[in-house]
Amino acid sequence: MPLLDVRNLCVDFRTANGLFRAVDGVDVQVNVGDVLAIVGESGSGKSVSMLALMGLLPWTATINADLLHFDGVDLASANTQQRRSIIGKDVAMIFQEPMSSLNPCFTIGFQLRETMKAHLPLSRRERQSRAIQLLEQVGLPEPERRLKAFPHQLSGGMCQRVMIAMAIACKPKLLIADEPTPALDVTIQAQILELLLDLQKDTGMALVLITHDMGVVAETAQRVSVQYAGQKVEEQGVRDLFANPHHPYTHALLAALPERATSRQLPSIPGVVPGQFDRPKGCLFSPRCTYAKDRCFQEVPVAAPPALGLARCHYPLVDGIAQREVS
Amino acid sequence: MLNNNTLIEATDLSRHYEVSNGLFGGKSTVKALSSASFHLQAGSTLAVVGESGCGKSTLARVVTMIEPPTAGQLILDGHRISGDISLTDEQRAELRASVQIVFQDPFGSLNPRQSIGRILEEPVLINRPSVSPTQREQQAREMLAMVGLRPEHYDRYPHMFSGGQRQRIAVARALMLEPRILVLDEPVSALDLSIQSQILNLLVELQERLNLAYLFISHDLSVVRHMADEVMVMYLGRVVESGSAAAVFDSPKHPYTQALLSATPVADPTREQTRIRLQGELPSPLNPPAGCAFNPRCWRAQDRCRVTAPELSDEGTHIVACYFPLHD
């Protein structure tokens, strides 16, 4: 049984102009020890689906799912108390901006110990020694002195290490990292990613990495799920995805990478991601797709078989060539 | 003798800042940029790469004349600018028109209370008061078409545009005064991948059409590799390696350049990972280490590196500031 099993997750936001569907029928399965990357552009719903799982969305959001199971517990029907005993302990999350995710009014040590106080039956002294041990584990020099520091006294890379230390304080079974590196420099980014992978290997926890950087995906993930405008459009193993993308969107996204360019002009995807008011009738990607046919503008496609990467497309690509029919 | 096509000629350009250390601490100097020398030809792209705090944005500010250099000489389009000689305001304004800048964040660099037409016309209004309003409007509309926006966008406001479109507007605004040099400060790092390629294509196209010189500042090495003719790698205010893009990327000589290249994630899962692990973080520019600034993180550092800083020297294909450069 998968550690995390989410089926047909939908998240709607109540806005001044009516309902806006940010996540539309997304399935996520994560097994113990998995490294899953969720990629997509801004507005593709990749962060929102994970925030929904954590219960961190504002009251304007309505969450619906056929299944929302974590480690055998149904999160959808769990009461607040049950939820709180899981979230932050067994499921932990690292947020985008390390500098603004830490509370500037409290020391690093206080914030680290606070998590343990809520979830672990440790004494004050044990918490302190565990905090030092955690900072050592994430590679922060002089941990005892750092515990007394405030967030503004640390650099971005150090803050991100503190965030990771906080997330792994209760030995989570699942760690969700939401764009953990874009605010950091490349050499620091490499250190942080390596740290996350080392932790994942040592503790056997599952890791979900939300990112838009294809380079990061290629170097860290085992499985990749591609999201577009709130829908999952493709899911494959990382090597297969880069070698043989089945959905035209993935194909176009990979072709737009500057390092794959063969000429000065890059192949680009025309247009922009559809918003609340210009959602197309058929396939959501159809207005920007080079392979789109009449049917794509009329009918909503369903996911193709796993052999075709679950591509949500009427005519999935095989080796860059559109196939006739699948469904 | 300067070649007619050379638009920027910088020699030992430096920018130091005085910072106070509190009431009794006295003053200390931050060497944000020390003795950078480079030149830039019309129609070519010079990329400046490095991590935060390496002085690349300071360089952009000096080149665009937002700040004067504290030492060294900068020749822009044939005019000398340096700390000691002051230009008249008129000369300065004229020179400023020939160097324009596009900023990183398209959400913060456009005034939300101005329409696109007004944003585009403002530089003309200020710098060329003799141009008539109808002519200005016509210029702005032509510019909209040039950067791939539609004429009806003229009356709209910035919040109605996506990030990619805003960056097009920022490029259009920078081009309104017909500059010869465009400083691009991380022009695509705030954009999504599919939009990024559209903007890069636009920049390539404009460069070919208008014979612009680009000073391209970026930390994304895959973008730099695609765009640049020449590359300059900086670390803590100093140029550590400089040369043609092919030479720097294919045979990096400075350990820092090599570490930077190996740390950049490559979108190819089948590639063997040979990553150089850099320990530690960038030292504070207020208190740089003695000798070579990179020595505390360098795995090849020896006693000599901790005493004196190496000067840039010719290493065959390009120039490097290292006592023990790497060879293939």
The conformation of residue B213, written as its DSSP 8-state character, comes to E
What residues of chain A lie within 8 A of the CB of B205, using their CB?
265
Lowest average pLDDT, out of B161-165, B280-284, B288-292, goes to B280-284
**Is B236 inside a domain boundary?**
yes
**pLDDT at residue number A29:** 93
The conformation of residue B7, written as its DSSP 8-state character, comes to E
Section B116-122 average pLDDT: 94
**pLDDT at residue number A16:** 86
B83, pLDDT greater than 60: no
- Chain B residue closest in CA terms to A154: B281
B67, pLDDT greater than 90: no
What residues of chain A lie within 8 A of the CB of B164, using their CB?
272
**Is B22 inside a domain boundary?**
no
Whether residue B133 lies within 8 A of chain A, CB to CB, comes out as no
B252, pLDDT greater than 60: yes
Selected residue of A44, A96, A219, A250 to mutate for chain B interface (largest B Cβ count, 10 A): A219
Tell me how far apart the alpha carbons of residues B5 and B1 are, in angstroms, rounded to a whole number: 12
Q: Residue B125 is inside which H or E element, if any? A: helix B116-127
**Is B238 inside a domain boundary?**
yes
**Is B288 inside a domain boundary?**
yes
CB contact under 8 A, B281 and A157: yes
Tell me how far apart the alpha carbons of residues B103 and B173 are, in angstroms, rounded to a whole number: 11
What residues of chain A lie within 8 A of the CB of B281, using their CB?
155, 157-158, 188
Section B244-260 average pLDDT: 92
Give pTM, 2 decimals: 0.86
Section B102-108 average pLDDT: 86
What residues of chain A lie within 8 A of the CB of B197, using their CB?
256, 258, 266-269
In tens, the pLDDT along B159-208 reads 988 888 999 999 999 999 999 999 999 888 878 888 888 899 999 999 99
- Burial level of A72, CB count in 10 A (0-12/13-18/19+)? exposed
Tell me how far apart the alpha carbons of residues A116 and B218 are, in angstroms, rounded to a whole number: 40
**Is B234 inside a domain boundary?**
yes
**pLDDT at residue number A236:** 94
Question: Structural domain tally of chain B?
Answer: 1
A297 versus A76: the higher-pLDDT residue is A297
A249 versus B270: the higher-pLDDT residue is A249
Say how many C-beta atoms besides its own lie within 10 A of residue B303's C-beta: 8
Tell me how far apart the alpha carbons of residues B54 and B32 are, in angstroms, rounded to a whole number: 7
* Contact of B139 with B124, CB cutoff 8 Å: yes
**pLDDT at residue number A277:** 79
A161, pLDDT greater than 80: yes
Chain B segment 247-276 residues within 8 A of A by beta carbon are 259-260, 263-271, 273, 275
Closest CB to B266: pick one of A42, A218, A265.
Answer: A218
What residues of chain A lie within 8 A of the CB of B201, using their CB?
265-266, 268
B311, pLDDT greater than 60: yes
B62, pLDDT greater than 60: yes
Chain A segment 113-142 residues within 8 A of B by beta carbon are none
**pLDDT at residue number A327:** 46
Interface A–B counts its CB contacts (< 8 A) at: 115
Lowest average pLDDT, out of A102-111, B81-90, B147-156, goes to B81-90
Section B231-237 average pLDDT: 92
A226, pLDDT greater than 90: yes
**Is B262 inside a domain boundary?**
yes
Percent of chain B with pLDDT over 70: 96
Pairing, β B71-76 against β B79-82? antiparallel
Section A273-295 average pLDDT: 87
* Contact of A206 with A34, CB cutoff 8 Å: yes
**Is B195 inside a domain boundary?**
no
Residue B212 Cα distances to A189, B3, B8, B178, angstroms: 33, 16, 12, 10
Closest CB to A41: pick one of B194, B226, B265.
Answer: B194
**pLDDT at residue number B1:** 42
**Is B79 inside a domain boundary?**
no
What residues of chain A lie within 8 A of the CB of B204, using their CB?
264-265
In tens, the pLDDT along A105-141 reads 999 999 999 999 999 999 999 999 999 999 988 888 8
**pLDDT at residue number A234:** 94
CB contact under 8 A, B193 and A214: yes
B3, pLDDT greater than 60: no
Mean pLDDT of the residues in chain B? 87
- First and final C-alpha spacing in chain B: 35
Percent of chain A with pLDDT over 90: 45
Q: Residue B321's domain spans which residues? A: 229-328
In tens, the pLDDT along A183-225 reads 677 888 888 888 899 989 988 899 999 988 888 999 899 999 9
Whether residue A265 lies within 8 A of chain B, CB to CB, comes out as yes
Tell me how far apart the alpha carbons of residues A204 and A181 are, in angstroms, rounded to a whole number: 22
Chain A segment 269-288 residues within 8 A of B by beta carbon are 269-270, 272-273
* Contact of B72 with B35, CB cutoff 8 Å: yes
Whether residue A262 lies within 8 A of chain B, CB to CB, comes out as no
* Alpha-carbon distance B121 to nearest alpha carbon in chain A (angstroms): 26
- Chain B residue closest in CA terms to A254: B267
**pLDDT at residue number B249:** 92
- Chain A residue closest in CA terms to B163: A272
* Contact of B38 with B232, CB cutoff 8 Å: yes
Q: Residue A240 is inside which H or E element, if any? A: helix A238-243
Q: DSSP string of B40-83?
A: EETT-EEEEE--TTSSHHHHHHHHTTSS--SEEEEEETTEEEES
Section B237-250 average pLDDT: 92
In tens, the pLDDT along A83-95 reads 888 988 999 999 8
Tokens of A298: 């009329």
**pLDDT at residue number B283:** 81
* Alpha-carbon distance A194 to nearest alpha carbon in chain B (angstroms): 10
What are the residues whose beta carbons fall under 8 Å from the beta carbon of B32, sequence distance 6 or more? B15, B16, B17, B55, B58, B237, B285
In tens, the pLDDT along A41-71 reads 887 888 899 999 888 898 899 999 999 999 9
**pLDDT at residue number B82:** 66
Closest CB to B200: pick one of A42, A266, A269.
Answer: A266
Q: DSSP string of B278-294?
A: --S-PPPTTSPPSSSTT
B267, pLDDT greater than 80: yes
